């Protein structure tokens, strides 16, 4: 089931690359949140997307916004990916795929004529009260971080 703007963001608690728990509810009332879901640590598009968001982390912070990347990779893979690529933002591990399913990003794809499930690159902008302001499915990583930053700035104005 796909999520839409205006819906309450599904709550979750996930470990980051350092195995510290990130609980979405703990930011309610204080921060806007950007969640970007990506397929796999270390793949070319995912490297570009994660490093682009990381490169603009300060600008997001100036907008009162935290950015989290989520994939099904485990915490150790996230730590290696973060350290190798110089990513400053938190990468969260949804190893069992529960949060991917809650956000509707775990979808069937056709690969070589066979149906296969995987993460569809998607981003959600969640306001301070926990409402999804933008649900962006099947996005292209090129220029995406700046597009999301623009949406956050518009949301704040």
Strands in 26-121 per DSSP E: 32-37, 65-71, 90-93, 106-111, 114-119
Q: Are 55 and 145 in contact (CB under 8 A)?
A: yes
Single out the catalytic residue among 46, 65, 75, 100. 46
Place of tokens 């350290």: 83
Q: Is 46 a catalytic residue?
A: yes
Positive or negative CA dihedral for 39, 16, 78, 143?
Answer: positive
Residue found by looking up tokens 């879901």 in the block: 37
Contacts of 155 (CB under 8 A, 6+ apart): 32, 125, 127, 133, 134
Which residues form the catalytic set?
46
């Amino acid at each position: 089931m796909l999520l839409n703007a205006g819906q309450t963001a599904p709550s979750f608690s996930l470990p980051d690359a350092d195995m510290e728990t990130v609980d979405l509810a703990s930011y309610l009332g204080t921060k806007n949140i950007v969640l970007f879901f990506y397929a796999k640590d270390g793949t070319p598009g995912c490297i570009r997307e994660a490093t682009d968001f990381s490169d603009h982390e300060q600008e997001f912070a100036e907008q009162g916004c935290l950015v989290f990347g989520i994939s099904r990779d485990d915490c150790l893979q996230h730590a290696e990916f973060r350290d190798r690529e110089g990513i400053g933002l938190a990468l969260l591990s949804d190893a069992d795929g529960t949060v991917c399913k809650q956000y509707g990003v775990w979808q069937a794809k056709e690969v070589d004529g066979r149906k296969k499930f995987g993460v569809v690159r998607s981003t959600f902008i969640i306001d301070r009260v926990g409402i999804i302001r933008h649900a962006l499915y099947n996005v292209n990583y090129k220029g995406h971080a700046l597009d999301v930053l623009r949406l956050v700035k518009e949301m704040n104005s």
